[in-house]
Amino acid sequence: MPKTITDQNLRLLIDALVAEGKRVVGPRAAGTMTLYAPLAKGEELNLGELPRRSAKETFFPLCETILTYERDKEGVRVTDVDPGTIPGTVLVAARPCDVAAAPVLDSVFSWDFKDEFFLERRRKTTIIGLACTRADDACFCTAVGLSPNDTKGSDLFLTPLTDGGYRCDAITEKGEALLATHASLFAEGDGTPAPLAEPSLGKLDLDRIKAWLDTHFEDPLWGEIAERCAGCGACAFLCPACHCFDIVDEGGETKGTRRKSWDACGFGKFTNHASGHNPRDVQPQRYRNRIMHKFKYYVDKFDQRLCTGCGRCIRACPVGIDIAEILSAIGTRDQEPGTGKD
Partner 1 sequence: MTNTAQTIDPALYAAVTDAIRAEAKKVLEAGAAAAVVGWQAGRRQGTAMPAIITDPAKVAELIFSPACVNNLALYLSKAKKEIRARGRIAIVVKGCDLKALVGLMGENQLKREDLHVIGVVCAGVQRAGAAKDIPLSEETIAGKCRECTVHTPEGADVTVGTLPDLPHFTPVESEELSRLEAMTPAQRWSFWKEHFARCIRCYACRQVCPFCYCEQCLCDRNRPQAVETTPRPAGNMAWHIVRAMHLAGRCAGCAECERVCPMDIPLNLLNRKMAKELKELYGHEAGFEVKEKGPLAQYREDDDQSFIK
Dihedral, CA of residue 266, residue 288, residue 59 and residue 303, to nearest 10: -170
Closest to 99 in 3D by CA, of 31, 174, 4: 174
In angstroms, give the least distance from the CB of 32 to partner 1: 4
In angstroms, give the least distance from the CB of 10 to partner 1: 27
- Those residues whose C-beta lies under 8 Å from the C-beta of residue 212, and which sit 6 or more positions away, are 330, 331, 333, 335
Instruction: Dump the DSSP string for 76-88.
Output: EEEEE--GGGPPP
Report if residue 32 touches partner 1, rule: CB under 8 A.
Answer: yes
Rounded CA gap, 20 and 93, in Å? 19
- Which member of 20, 80, 137, 190 binds partner 1 (CB under 8 A)? 137
Rounded CA gap, 323 and 140, in Å? 10
* Closest CB to partner 1 among residues 237, 298: 237
In angstroms, give the least distance from the CB of 320 to partner 1: 3
Region binding partner 1 by CB under 8 A among candidate stretches 76-84, 230-238, 302-310, 332-340: 230-238
Determine the residue type at 185. Answer: L
How many positions of this chain bind partner 1 (CB under 8 A)?
38
Report if residue 33 touches partner 1, rule: CB under 8 A.
Answer: yes
14 in Cβ contact with 39 (< 8 Å): yes
* SS3 assignment for 251-309: ECCCEEEEEEEECCCCCCCCCCCCCCCCCCCCHHHHHHHHHHHHHHHHHHHHCCCCCCC
* Closest CB to partner 1 among residues 65, 304: 65
Report if residue 2 touches partner 1, rule: CB under 8 A.
Answer: no
* Closest CB to partner 1 among residues 157, 222: 222
- The contact pattern for partner 1, residues 148-187, with x = CB under 8 A and - = no contact, is ----------------------------------------
Positions in 249-308 near partner 1 (CB under 8 A): 250, 259, 261-262, 264, 267, 269, 282
Rounded CA gap, 8 and 186, in Å? 11
Residue ranges in contact with partner 1 by CB under 8 A: 31-33, 52-53, 62-63, 137-138, 227-228, 230-234, 236-238, 246, 248, 250, 259, 261-262, 264, 267, 269, 282, 314, 316, 318-322, 324-325
